[in-house]
Amino acid sequence: MPALTSFRLSAFLLHGMFPWWSNLLKRTHAFGSPKRSFLTRLHNHRIMLMALSSSSSSSSSSSLDKHEDRMVARHKERISNDEADVTGPEQHLQHQKHVFDEMSDFFATQQTVPDELVPVYQHLALQIWESRPEARDEEKTTTRIMDGACGSGALFPFLLEQAVESDLPVEIVGVDVAPKMVAGAQEYASSLLRSRDDHIIQVVESDVLNFQLNEEDDRFDVVILNACFGNFWNTSAVLEHICLRLLKQKGGSVIVSHPLGSNFVEKLNREDPTTVPHLLPASSDEWSVMTRYLPLELKKMDFSFESNPYYFAWLQRVRHVALPNVMRLRGKVATGFGRGGKKLGFPTANLSPVEMRPALESVETGVYFGWAVIEGRSGIHKAVVNVGFSPTFEGKENAEKIVEAHLLFGEEEVKDFYSETMRLQLHGFLRPEIKFPSFPALIAQISEDRDEARGALDVEPSVAFSKDPFLVDSSQHWIGSTGGDDKNSWEFVETDAAIDALP
């Protein structure tokens, strides 16, 4: 039964090795009967399941080394002939479905989380809980957690336990690509939440990279990638999708973990590289390289817990990120739609969408930041720039992608500069373009974008980019190397090369 993986906590009491469980039960008296009965039910359910599965009892006394050997053996057993066809992301996805459907029976037994790993999962759940945005505790609002590649749901009871202990509601969305894993996790979640309506667990069939939220859904406070990061076809693409589409922009966290540590993942990679094609990042430097162009900051790394191998990396969402390519755009300021300053209170200088169409074909819609110069005028100005279709103006969206630059002039008087030539150098990204439910919500977000851009441009490498000859020598004739003419042109330069070329 899938539920057999769920109630490792009561093993502490059953085996008499850990005082934690009995102490927890004592502490729950102070919080009232709902919490106490829930935790007690976890304990009782575990006793029942262990009695029904006495033939598996040897796993509770086995060493972690033996557990690792069993896991590796399972990978060896299921290595199949379809591996020769795994040459791209779609084949890889089908391979993962096949592999973990085959292994679903194994992951639905006590062998998945043997008693030796219970303290590890307990510690992991605590670290995950502590990575949530702090405001969640103060506001007593529901914490939303995505458990990516959740398997049979091994983390579910440990996360629920943290929520119960904190007296805070939690909503867990488990995502897995294998249908049999999903079915088992759904059954398991139902057994966990019986007679409780303050917590939610949903399990859906999807791979992480293709999982989408509906417009009305809240983004996640935490996205967990536990015991699965090495399995993805493209780890960077997964992190990018999580950051830009799934994670809360303010303080959202990504957790990459493995209860058996990075050496175990290396062993799986060696024995079954088709299923586990990647290793875990081994240092903060490796994480820095992987997330250089993602809005993520490494907050913490652990490689052991109580002298046992363990892997934990906590990455937190930040509001801005360097672009892999610096954009330089030059063109005449065109007449806009009269809504930036008049409707929203943030006047913008727009480049002609027709003239800039070829330049913007490969540019993601979203909010960028950088520096701006109006040729013939003094000063280099901070700029926050929207590239997109303005979807909040329903029925009056832009017909095509447009560049709308809000220049941060400070207190000086600003006059219109229509038909004058503007140079924009964009090297940072804030967020994707989205449709807001109201104009006040859009205005509030633009205000945040402006403040965030102002701060980002006060630190490196943004300060260095203000010395770009493209900006400083704006009186010099310039035609971008990527396309355009002497009136409107553009170029895209790798960020490293652009930095190296700065004076």
Instruction: For residue 226, give both structure tokens.
Output: 């536990």
Which residues, in sequence order, are CB contacts of 235 under 8 Å at separation 6+? 229, 278, 290
Which SS3 state, helix, strand or coil, does residue 355 take? helix
What φ, ψ does residue 99 adopt, rounded to 5°? Answer: -60, -50
**Which parts of 361-468 are beta strand (E)?**
366-374, 381-388, 402-408, 421-431
- Tokens 């104009």 identify what position? 439
For residues 334 and 420, give the distance between their C-alpha atoms in angstroms, rounded to a whole number: 9
Instruction: For residue 95, give both structure tokens.
Output: 């391979």
For residues 349 and 471, give the distance between their C-alpha atoms in angstroms, rounded to a whole number: 17
Instruction: For residue 294, give both structure tokens.
Output: 């993602």
286 Rama sector, left if φ>0, alpha if ψ -120 to 50, beta otherwise:
alpha
Distances (CA, A) of 180 to 185, 232, 437: 9, 19, 38
For residues 404 and 347, give the distance between their C-alpha atoms in angstroms, rounded to a whole number: 9
Please say whether the beta carbons of 4 and 109 come within 8 A: yes
Helix, strand, coil distribution of the chain in percent, nearest 5: 40, 20, 35
Which residues, in sequence order, are CB contacts of 144 under 8 Å at separation 6+? 170, 171, 173, 218, 219, 220, 221, 222
Distances (CA, A) of 26 to 31, 37, 40: 10, 12, 11
- Tokens 């930095």 identify what position? 499
**Which amino acid, 120?**
V
Instruction: For residue 459, give both structure tokens.
Output: 């630190």
Which SS3 state, helix, strand or coil, does residue 381 take? strand
142 closest CA partner among 210, 217, 211, 215: 217
Distances (CA, A) of 366 to 164, 242, 369, 386: 39, 16, 10, 6
For residues 152 and 228, give the distance between their C-alpha atoms in angstroms, rounded to a whole number: 13
Active site (annotated) includes residue 413: no
For residues 18 and 10, give the distance between their C-alpha atoms in angstroms, rounded to a whole number: 10
From the candidates 161, 240, 404, 491, which is the catalytic residue?
404
Distances (CA, A) of 7 to 308, 463, 498: 22, 54, 55
Residues recognised as catalytic: 404
